[in-house]
Amino acid sequence: MEIKEINKPTRNWTVDEFADFLHYRLQHGNRESIRSWWRSASLLRKLEAAGLAELDGGEVALTPSGSKLRDALYLLEESDELADARLNLRIHRLEDPHAAPLGADTLMLLVAGRSGRVRVDAARMLMEDEGGRTYADRLAKCWDPKVRILAAPYADPHLFLNETDHDVIEAVIKGGRADDVCRERWTSPDEPFGVRFAAGALVADGEQADRMLATMTGYERIRFLSGYPRLAVGKRAVDACHADDDHAPLLETDMTRVPDDYLREALESDRHWGIKLRVDDYKKALREAMRLERLFSGPDSKVLAEICGQVEAEIAKEEER
């Protein structure tokens, strides 16, 4: 049957109705007791209206046209022509379990199709198959950013040098694919802030961070350092707060190694409540720690030193995440 002949009688079928017709109803021939159709009443009405099935006593029987359609659908859902089939048949084939997976060429055709849901499902299926990952470079050029995100952990990272979607950049970085060329491009002041923000994960030292911050607005600095607390250290963090006082509280819960003069300024002002609350929390924690330290023989206790070392290591790991 031609694809048009298949699509016409199935134009209003749901995903579940395609699944029922192909894999759950009439699995032992062309006749089945009407009692098993109580959950597929809508499909039965559509089959009867199209002349594909009829009631014969207490059974539902496929007509010759119905048998022909079912055979054609079986072939269609395993062929490259699936890309031209009804949307709900494509969704059924991608999302319902089948004995054999779709071939990579068919999946690539589905990625090029009209439906965003089908594109993403097909791309995900390709990337989950190690052999299908050879198509990642082609998917990296897809206009749909959701497809590019799926390809990002496997594709050549240089294909994304002109990428403007920060979610795609983040996917490349999380996939461990970004290199020095990527970092230089994505941290450039010519890039949108969303791209530079995502590229902050690649910034390894303070000098790189300072170069990026110098090209940002006050609000962007606060947002950037709030997103990367490991960089919100000392004078860098204080300068960002001074440059955009209205948003300083966003940063005061993240900044570390704060100089005494800024701490004093914050504590004596009628603002900077983030800093004041952190100092209060420190007093409470220190009081409790000093009380518990009486357990140990003194500040030179080896056990105390070991525990302090363990806690410092745990904090360092948390800050790296």
Tens-digit pLDDT profile for residues 142-188: 999 999 999 999 999 999 999 999 999 999 999 999 999 999 999 99
Question: Is 154 inside any structural domain?
Answer: no
Question: Is 57 inside any structural domain?
Answer: yes
Question: Is 81 inside any structural domain?
Answer: yes
pLDDT at site 270: 82
pLDDT at site 288: 94
Question: What total number of domains does the chain contain?
Answer: 2
Question: Is 237 inside any structural domain?
Answer: no
Expressed as residue numbers, the domain containing 294 is: 280-320
pLDDT band of residue 247 (cuts 50, 70, 90) is: low
Question: Is 37 inside any structural domain?
Answer: yes
Question: Is 45 inside any structural domain?
Answer: yes
- The CA-CA-CA angle for residues 115, 40, 16, to 5°, reads 20
Answer with the one of 100, 120, 139 that is the final residue of a domain. Answer: 100
| pLDDT tens digit sequence for 37-86 | 998 999 999 999 999 999 998 999 999 999 999 999 999 999 999 999 99
Answer with the one of 69, 100, 131 that is the final residue of a domain. Answer: 100
CATH code, domain carrying 86: 1.10.10
Question: Is 185 inside any structural domain?
Answer: no
Answer with the one of 80, 100, 120 that is the final residue of a domain. Answer: 100
pTM (two decimals) = 0.81
pLDDT at site 269: 84
Secondary structure, 3-state, the chain: CCHHHHHCCCCCCCHHHHHHHHHHCCCCCCEEEHHHHCCCHHHHHHHHHCCCEEEECCEEEECHHHHHHHHHHHHHCCCHHHHHCCHHHHHHHHHCCCCCCCCHHHHHHHHCCCCHHHHHHHHHHHHHCCHHHHHHHHHCCCCCHHHHHHHCCCCCHHHHCCCCCHHHHHHHHHCCCCCHHHHHHHCCCCCCHHHHHHHHHHCCCHHHHHHHHCCCCHHHHHHHHHHCHHHCEHHHHHHHHHHCHHHHHHHHCCCECCCHHHHHHHHHCCCCHHHHHHHHHHHHHHHHHHHHHHHCCCCCCHHHHHHHHHHHHHHHHHHHC
Q: What contacts 24+ positions apart, CB below 8 Å, involve 125-129?
A: 125/94, 125/101, 127/151, 127/153, 127/154, 129/101, 129/104
